[in-house]
Structure formats: C-alpha cells, structure tokens
Structure 1
C-alpha cells in the first residue's frame, strides 16, 4: 500500500487497484461527474493492475445474485438487468440522480443510498459490483460535503455489519423490475453506517472539548489513551488522531510518559505503551 513492494498475485493487484481508485476519489471528487463514462473509467482503474479484460466495460454475460439455503444449496435470489439493457439503465439512474439533486427535491443523504440501491440491482459489471458501489458511495458523499470517509473506512463499517447489509439489500431489490421495490431499509442501513463512521471519528479525534475550543495534541492523545484498553504504539496514536501533526502527537506521547500516565515498554520497533493503571 506504501508502493514499496511489487504485488505478488491477482488479489494483491486488485487491492492496489482499489487503492488507486480511492486516491482518485480522495483527490479529485469534485471533478468526477456522475455519468456512465466516468463510472466505466473508475471500473477500468479498479482492474487495470490485475490485467482483467473486462475492466472498464459493462457486463457481457447475464449475472445473478444468489442466496444459500440452510442446507447449503444455492438459489437465485435476484436477476439483474440483461447485458443489453445495462448501459441504458446506468444512464437512467445517473440522469435521475443529477436531476433530483439539482432541484433539491430529496436530501442527498436519502438520494445517495437510493442511487446505490439501483446500481446494485442493475449489477452492471462482470465483477467488482460491490467494490464499485462502495467507491461510488464515497464519491457521492464527498461531493455533497460528507467527508468522514477520509478518516474512517466506510467499507470497513459495512464489512462489520455485512449480514445486515445483505439482508436489507435482499428486501430492497424485491419488486425492483416492476418499480415497486421499497429501498427504505437499505437507506436506513446506510444512514446508520454513515452515523457510525462520524461517531467513531468524533471518538478518535476528540477535536472539540467541552468549551467548544479545539483540543491540543496533548488533549487528543490523553483522550485516546483514556479509552484504550491494552497496549498501543505511537503509530496507533498517529492513526487515531488525524487532527494533529505527527511531531506534536509524539511530543504529547513523551510528555504523558514523563507524567507517568502511560508506561513505555520494549525497544526499537518493538516499542509499545500501556496505561499506568493497567500495571498496578
């Protein structure tokens, strides 16, 4: 991920591809229109390093969303649109999204998961539909001013609740082809995911204290260690406190050690810290 080594297999190449698209969205989200051509380019970049020929192309074979029964047998839970209908379907939801957003008829936090629900029901690619849906979620949130994904992984939050994710998606696609589906459960789920990310961000960063004044690096690290159970490293502190500079955080860590709030153990790369009260 630090671009210091060469990927060893297809899985690692796909991870690097995901990172590349994430970087594009982080850096240029305001310049990525919600249009089929741009979605295809993001999909192309997702699979570029893995060398997959279908990267950047809509599906050319019918795909299915399958479920598994308790006895282990599989069944088709939902059939997405046919390959020949895919491009027009994506064009339709992109146009509808931009038109609805422009007239401010629906709050973006409702409109975004509704768009993603339609995207997943179309299932426009041979592979990578789930990853693209989460990348598009991040893109649309950024474009509407919700940038928590820069600090807290929305993908990870979905992964932690993936059973619920699949359950609500199963309910949301019922009757989709007849335009009678109800995306409400999926919208509620995504709102909970976004809220959980903001809650975690608030807990980790601690940017405001009770008086409404921006906290110092010392206060941020103090808050982090007071809620931390078990050992932690300086890298953990830096990752948990993105609102302050690295040198300021390391200085705060040193001061807290000198004040005996925490104890430094190990040496070199094996150095770690624990709260002093954990050793009593």
Structure 2
C-alpha cells in the first residue's frame, strides 16, 4: 500500500516529503463552514503507533477472514482504511484503487472496464454523509449504511457497463451507412432529413427508413414534430 501511495503521487513534487509513508500529523477530514469555522467530517486514527497498529490489524483481518462475502469484505476494508486515513493525503482515492484491486482479486474482473472513482465523485455528498453518519458512532458503529452505499455504487457502474455493451452489440448489427448517419447526426445538431440525404448521397425515403431503424434500435430519438423535427443520439 505504501508503494501504491508513492506511485499515486509520483508526479506531485509538493508531496515528495510524505508520499509512500504513513502520516506524521493528525489528518482529520474537516469542512470549512460559512461562518469561517471548521467542522470535523471524519475523525481519523492518530498518527504514529496507533495508525501503524490499526493498519496491521486491518491487513491481518483481511488475510485471515474467510467467512465474509467478498463484496462485503471489500466494503469493510475500504471503510476501515478511510477511517484510519493512514496517509497524509489521497486516502480516499487510494481506497478506491484498493477496492478495484480487491474486487479483481475476488474475481470481479469487469471492474477494470469502469471507473469506481467517477461513480464516487458523482455521489460525493452522499459518500461523505454516509461515512460521517457511520464514523460518528465509533467505536462499535453500525456500518450497514456504508455497505449499502458501496454495493449500490457497484450496481450503478455495472449497470452502466452493461448498457454500454448492449449498445456496442447494437452498433455491430447496424450497417456501415447507418453508422455514418449516426456520425452525421452527432456532428450536426438539428440537421434536417433532406440534408442527411445529401450528405449520404441517398434519397429522402432511404434516410427515413434508416432513421426508423436507428430509433427502433434505441440509438436516436426524435425531437419535436412536423417540418421542425430533428434527431438526437441517445
């Protein structure tokens, strides 16, 4: 993990003094309030021996536990890692990287084709809210909300991947001319049917038939009605 942290900050000169080593100072996660005060969002493990002991315990638990379901185990590992906050900076990003590595270790190889980091970034407020709600009860907290959040994030990115694969399958099934038409629609927002026909060198009737096929394949949708209608990509 220290090596991964070092690689993560490889090109950050300002972090040379601490990258790859556990924190030397307290790094509780704080929020700056409108009135100028600071509020602790995540209370982390103190630096020094407490952090080192906590990390040894976390790794020992991971290596010895054979009862917990792999997905829940990944969720628990990431939660505890972020709660310890062993490094000065980039603990959250590293936790997502570790989640990806652990998921691949346990056979969920599809995770390499999606961005867990992007999913968390898009739900950052919820991410911090759930973390804070659980960690406010430490020690002995109920982290069910965190596990549910973690699993829902995986469900979202897996769903996104499946939709992408479905689209790729459809794209392989349509003709080269229809693919060309998709490119024309994407590059020319609001383009009319007659203009599509000119660009493709075919009749209006042929373009309309192609548009119907693309709509049936759920690749485009029609906006508006009558002469002013146009098509957009889904």
Q: Evaluate the alpha carbon distance shift between residue 53 and residue 218 of structure 1 in structure 2; reply closer, same or farther with a 3 A threshold.
A: same
Q: State how far apart, in whole Å, the 2-side matches of 1:156 and 1:193 are.
A: 10
| Aligned equivalent of 1:191 | 151
Q: Superposition RMSD on alpha carbons, in Å?
A: 3.3
Q: Post-superposition shift, 1:134?
A: 0.8
Q: State how far apart, in whole Å, the 2-side matches of 1:111 and 1:221 are.
A: 46
Q: Evaluate the alpha carbon distance shift between residue 232 and residue 67 of structure 1 in structure 2; reply closer, same or farther with a 3 A threshold.
A: same
- Counterpart of 2:186 (choices 227, 231, 250) is 231
Q: Give the 3-state SS of the residue equivalent to 2:39 in structure 1.
A: strand
TM-score, with structure 1 as normaliser: 0.61
Q: Post-superposition shift, 1:217?
A: 5.2
Give ranges in structure 1 of 5+ residues lacking alignment: 1-38, 209-214, 234-253, 263-273
- Counterpart of 1:93 (choices 54, 58, 65) is 58
| Aligned equivalent of 2:132 | 170
- Tell me: higher relative CO, structure 1 or 2? Use CA pairs within 8 A at least 6 residues apart: 2
Q: Evaluate the alpha carbon distance shift between residue 130 and residue 218 of structure 1 in structure 2; reply closer, same or farther with a 3 A threshold.
A: same
Q: Evaluate the alpha carbon distance shift between residue 220 and residue 204 of structure 1 in structure 2; reply closer, same or farther with a 3 A threshold.
A: farther
- Report whether the alignment pairs 1:181 with 2:145: no
**Residues 1-280 of structure 1: pairs in structure 2 closer than 5 A:** 39-51=1-13, 52-69=16-33, 71=35, 73-84=37-48, 85-100=50-65, 103=66, 105-176=67-138, 178=139, 180-206=140-166, 215=169, 218-219=172-173, 231=186, 260=207, 261=210, 275=220, 277=222, 279=230
Q: Give the 3-state SS of the residue equivalent to 1:81 in structure 2.
A: coil
Contact 1:90 1:122 in 2 (8 A): yes
Q: Evaluate the alpha carbon distance shift between residue 204 and residue 221 of structure 1 in structure 2; reply closer, same or farther with a 3 A threshold.
A: farther
Contact 1:207 1:220 in 2 (8 A): no
Q: Post-superposition shift, 1:232?
A: 6.3
Q: State how far apart, in whole Å, the 2-side matches of 1:163 and 1:119 are.
A: 19
Contact 1:206 1:220 in 2 (8 A): no
Give ranges in structure 2 of 5+ residues lacking alignment: 189-199, 201-205, 212-218, 224-229
Q: Post-superposition shift, 1:71?
A: 4.2
Structure with max Cα Rg: 2
Deviates more, 1:55-64 or 1:79-88: 79-88
| Aligned equivalent of 1:239 | none
Q: Give the 3-state SS of the residue equivalent to 2:186 in structure 1.
A: coil
